Amino acid sequence: MAVPGSSSSRRRRRRRRKKGSGGPPRLPQKGLGRVWGSGHRPPARPRGWGLCCPSPAPPNPGGGGQAGTPRPSRGTRWGGRIPEPRGAPVCYRPGGISLSGGTGRQTGPAGDPTGQSGLGKSTMVNTLFKSKVSRKASQPGQEERIPKTVQVQSISHVIEEKGVKMKLTVTDTPGFGDQINNENCWDPIIKYINEQYERYLREEVLITRKRKIPDTRVHGCVYFVPPTGHWLRPLDLEFMQRLSKIVNVVPVIAKADTLTLEERAEFKQRIQEDLKTHAISVYPQADFDQDPDDRLLNDRIREKIPFAVVGADQEHQVNGKRVLGRKTKWGIIEVENPAHCEFPLLRDLLIRSHLQDLKDITHNVHYESYRVRRLNESNRPALSPLNGLPGKGEGSSNL
Amino acid sequence: MSTGMRYKSKLVNPEEKQDHEKQYVGFATLPNQVHRKSVKKGFDFTLMVAGESGLGKSTLVNSLFLTDLYKDRKLLNAEERINQTVEIVKHTVDIEEKGVKLKLTIVDTPGFGDAVNNTECWKPITDYIDQQFEQYFRDESGLNRKNIQDNRVHCCLYFISPFGHGLRPVDVEFMKALHEKVNIVPLIAKADCLIPSEIRKLKERIREEIDKFGIKVYQFPECDSDEDEEFKQQDRELKESAPFAVIGSNTVVEAKGQRVRGRLYPWGIVEVENQAHCDFVKLRNMLIRTHMHDLKDVTCDVHYENYRAQCIQQMTSKLTQDNRIESPIPILPLPTPDTETEKLIKMKDEELRRMQEMLQKMQQQMQDQ
């Protein structure tokens, strides 16, 4: 039984990283291979959902075509419902990611971290997915020249949790913003995103098309802003202006352990003003809130955008517990402590609550506008090369 | 390396004093005389800070000199910044400590490295430095040399971003454009975002890249062999910790019952003056307490002399081109006259030559007659 809203096609959220993994993909497994590091451990004691996710209490079950599953479910923006997991037992490590995929099929997201080199993008992606999905640039012996043009490199992994498999594709863009002259350094990135839309479009308009169209579209772009503490730089503004029109952009303040709490609050406010002045709509976009519940939830998130994050992949001992953090001479910065940084909020947004939403918006909004543009362009000549699709205006959308 | 230590006068007992009196000329007091005069005259120092915005330059300058030079600073908003070009802003402040006056000038470079296209963004800075040299050159070659104002830049603190993996192309280009004109001291800014192992790696990386690109940063002079061991040890530590990883702060926070300058985070307090936390103390000691005079000396003896030699060479080559007599004292080119006056000068020259020719002819005629 299909779960409406959450499409059964694989959607991969690409994460673009500006610099970093120059090497070949670490784990070249495709298909159903599990990539989760240290082997499958039995679930530990359960943890309440409330601890992990800021979403409000789930609405009444039984809404919207969710036959068969008695679980409470959460409304998505597009009418379908996603089953909420019950108390998510810890799988591999404390705070394990809980994904709701329902059918156990691969529902891979694709993510795209973007930002200048050295802002901690690889570490962040590794911390988010608790596995070494991206290879860090600062490894010894690795040739690390700053490339002259922005390149786009993709690595795919299949990760699994509690029977739910996810094909994660992280797309990196080394070379962004590193040169002296950075004009048009966003062009290769825009080209790449449009190429993925084009690929999907071509598959979609075929006469005999596959049941599950391979989805290589970028679902989310995480943009790393350097923690200068002043304003957004011209480069950041230009990039986000252009990209927020074609993909979901989530700005984050990278390496936020260099800002005190007051500085952080001021910086965020200035960034929000900047975004408003330049009419850059970042994810979650205010135009797409469907019902008041969603609006409330998203408003709360919008107040905190951009999240000030700190990434870490080393564990330290704090008060008898092992936590992920950075150990400095003046203290240990705990990555998962909400008093220290906003990494848990980012993780919850991207994975636990809004992952499906990201995919939906990509599919229903960004892809559609791309499609409309393309069809309008290529309708001047007839569309017969594309397998006899009827002319303008009749391309019905079953999506 | 205080004056006292250097020029310790030997203590003599009263018995030997009489003998010494006979052989004692007395010029061992010269350093004290110099000391007194220079204290009366006061010192001056010009420091330039360069680097991308948001790296903590102003905060560091305020922390170094315990002043508030940037009180009324207004941060530009996005629209203003898009069209910003690199400016040169000077702040001057007179500070005094224990009777010694210092006229401190800070040259700031807002807008450096901020635009999308940063090609040649260091040009205004090199032009400024050259201008100061040129002005000093003119003053020095002028007639009245009593009150020459020395605006030459003695030291440039270049802030390297800790968020990268080493030097970026704009850093390399900037340093290469300036290393022959000014003493460059590279610093790693905002070092509180790095853990100790990362700092070490970054420093090594930067040192390698500086060697690789042939950038001549300011080298600490070797200490004399008669200095004591502790001093030599300090000097060695100083050299090994270049480039300094600094953190700046002018706010006072309470840490372990003491009031210290630092930054308060939820996970701890970073103390600026704690050597285990950052290299701020080393930078301050180096810049102010031990090497300030050496920086000025290197600027005068090396960079300025290079500039002067270049300048003179250019001028003499121009003079020989114009076929005029070389004068022993290089004549500074007058401020370039505009085209009209040049034409006039040429006309007058022509006239003079014609008249000379006529005179010669007349003389010859007279001789023939």
Cross-chain residue pair A180–B165, CB shorter than 8 Å: no
Name the band, by pLDDT with cuts 50, 70 and 90, for residue A393. Answer: very low
Cβ within 8 Å of B, A 228-267: 228-235, 237-238, 254-255, 257-258, 260-261
d(CA A90, CA A96): 6
pLDDT of residue B11: 55
Please tell me the distance in Å from A144's CA to the nearest CA on chain B: 9
Residue to mutate among B60, B251, B265, B270, with most A CBs inside 10 A, is B265
> Beta-carbon neighbour count of residue B119 at 10 Å?
13
Lowest-confidence range among A93-102, A110-119, B225-234, B297-306?
A: A93-102
CA distance B287 to B272: 16
Average of per-residue pLDDT values in chain A: 68
Beta-ladder partners of A88: A47
What is the chain A residue with the closest CA to B271? Answer: A330
How many Cβ pairs within 8 Å bridge chains A and B?
Answer: 119
The answer to whether residue A184 scores a pLDDT higher than 70 is yes
E strands within B130-278? 155-160, 184-188, 244-245, 252-255, 258-265, 268-271
CATH number attached to the domain at B37-67+83-319: 3.40.50.300
> A208 or A5: whose pLDDT is higher?
A208
Give chain A positions within 8 Å (CB) of B197. Answer: none
Stretch (H or E) spanning B50: strand B43-50
Contact at 8 Å (CB) between A130 and A92? yes
Task: Give me Rg for the CA atoms of chain A.
Answer: 21
Between CA A117 and CA A59 the distance in angstroms is 43
CA–CA–CA angle A299, A251, A56 (5° rounding): 30
* CB pair distance less than 8 Å for A327 and B168: no
pLDDT at B292: 87
Q: What are B75's two structure tokens?
A: 């941060």
Q: How far is B106 from chain A (nearest CA, A)?
A: 21
Q: State the average pLDDT over residues A206-235.
A: 86
* Mutation for A interface: B173, B195, B202, most A CBs within 10 A: B195
Contacts of A277 in chain B (CB under 8 A): 77-79
At residue B155, the pLDDT reads: 92
Residue stretches of chain B with pLDDT short of 70: 1-21, 69-85, 323-339
Segments of A49-90 assigned E as strands: 73-75, 81-83, 88-89
CB contact under 8 A, A178 and B269: no
Q: Which of B165, B174, B264 to mutate to test the interface with A (most CBs of A within 10 A)?
A: B165
Q: How far apart are CA A218 and CA A154, in angstroms?
A: 11
Phi-psi bin for A69: left (phi > 0), alpha (psi -120 to 50), beta? beta
* Rg from Cα positions in chain B: 28
**Integer CA distances (angstroms), A311 to A65, A124, A126, A303, in order:** 39, 5, 8, 22
Q: Is the pLDDT of residue A16 over 50?
A: no
Nearest-Cα residue of chain B relative to residue A256 = B193
**Spatial CB neighbours of A104, under 8 Å, sequence gap ≥ 6:** A163, A164, A165
Under 8 Å CB-to-CB from A202, ≥6 apart: which residues?
Answer: A386
The partner residues of B263 in beta bridges, in order of sequence, read: B270
Backbone angles phi and psi of B50, in degrees to 5: -140, 150
Contact A12, A219 (CB under 8 A): yes
CA distance to A13, B5, B10, B292, B353, per residue, from B229 (Å): 61, 14, 21, 22, 74
Is the peptide bond preceding residue A25 cis, with omega within 30 degrees of 0? no
CA distance A270 to A257: 18
Q: B85 at the A interface (CB within 8 A)?
A: no
Contacts with A321 (C-beta within 8 Å, 6 or more apart), sequence order: none
Distances (CA, A) of B331 to A69, B137, B199: 96, 12, 52
What token pair was written down for A227?
Answer: 């923690």
A276 touches chain B (CB under 8 A): no
Compute, in degrees rounded to 10, the torsion defined by CA atoms A326, A329, A331, A332. Answer: 20
Q: Tell me the C-alpha distance between A253 and A267, whole Å.
A: 9
Contact between A273 and A284 under an 8 Å Cβ cutoff? The reply is no
* A100 to A7, A93, A165, A348, B77: CA distances (angstroms): 12, 18, 10, 13, 43
Alpha carbon distances (Å) from A348 to A51, A63, A105:
11, 24, 21
Consecutive H or E run containing A184: none
pLDDT at B188: 92
pTM, 2 dp? 0.70
Chain B stretch 12-71, residues whose beta carbon is closer than 8 A to a beta carbon of chain A: 52-55
Among A30-44, A361-375, B65-79, B81-95, the least confident range: A30-44
Q: Is the pLDDT of residue A50 over 60?
A: no
- Give yes or no for B135 touching A (CB within 8 A): no
Q: H/E element holding B47? A: strand B43-50
Give the per-residue pLDDT at A114: 76
User: Which residues, numbered 341 to 360 in chain A, qualify as contacts with chain B under a Cβ-Cβ cut-off of 8 Å?
Assistant: none
Which of the four pLDDT bands, split at 50, 70 and 90, describes residue A236? Answer: confident
Q: Is B190 on the interface with A (CB under 8 A)?
A: yes
Classify residue A258 by its DSSP letter. G
* Angstrom distance (rounded) from CA A221 to CA A110: 9
Work out the pLDDT band at A47, boundaries 50, 70, 90: very low
**Is it true that the peptide bond before A344 is cis, omega within 30 degrees of 0?**
no
Reference A57, options A96, A95, A97, A84; nearest CA is A84
CB contact set of A320 (below 8 Å; sequence gap of 6+): none
pLDDT digits (tens, 9 = 90+) for A281-297: 888 887 777 788 888 88
How confident is the model at residue B198, as a pLDDT?
A: 87
In the numeric block, which tokens belong to residue A204? 């979609």
Rounded to whole angstroms, how far apart are CA atoms B142 and B136? 10
All residues of chain B having their beta carbon less than 8 Å from the beta carbon of residue A333 are 265, 267
Considering only CB atoms, B165 lies closest to which of A117, A260, A328, namely A117
Nearest to A180 among B119, B163, B267 (CB): B119
Residues of chain B positioned with their CB less than 8 A from the CB of A138: 165, 201
Q: List chain A residues with CB under 8 Å of B171.
A: none
Q: Which of A218-227, A253-262, B312-321 is predicted least confidently?
A: B312-321
Mean pLDDT of A210-228: 87
Does a cis peptide bond (omega within 30 degrees of 0) precede residue B243?
yes
Strands B184-188 and B244-245: parallel
Three-class SS state of B100 = strand
The confidence band for A313, taking pLDDT boundaries of 50, 70 and 90, is: confident
Select the residue from A19, A119, A185, A228 to test the B interface by mutation, using most B Cβ atoms within 10 A.
A228
Q: Which of B76, B165, B196 sits opposite A144 (nearest CB)?
A: B165
A324, β-bridge pairs: A315
Q: Which tokens hold the place of A128?
A: 């988010």
Q: State yes or no: pLDDT of A342 exceeds 70.
A: yes
Say whether B78 and A234 touch across the interface (CB within 8 A).
Answer: yes
Give A98's pLDDT tier (boundaries 50, 70, 90): very low
At residue A294, the 3 state secondary structure works out as: helix
- Determine the Cα–Cα distance for residues B345 and A367; give it in Å rounded to an integer: 74
Model pLDDT, residue B128:
92
Amino acid at A117: S
Comparing CB atoms, the residue among B173, B263, B265 nearest residue A180 is: B173
User: In whole angstroms, what is the distance from residue A375 CA to residue A245 CA?
Assistant: 18
DSSP E strands in chain A: the ranges are 13-17, 46-47, 73-75, 81-83, 88-89, 110-114, 153-161, 164-172, 220-225, 249-253, 307-308, 315-318, 321-328, 331-334
> What is the greatest pairwise CA distance in chain A?
70
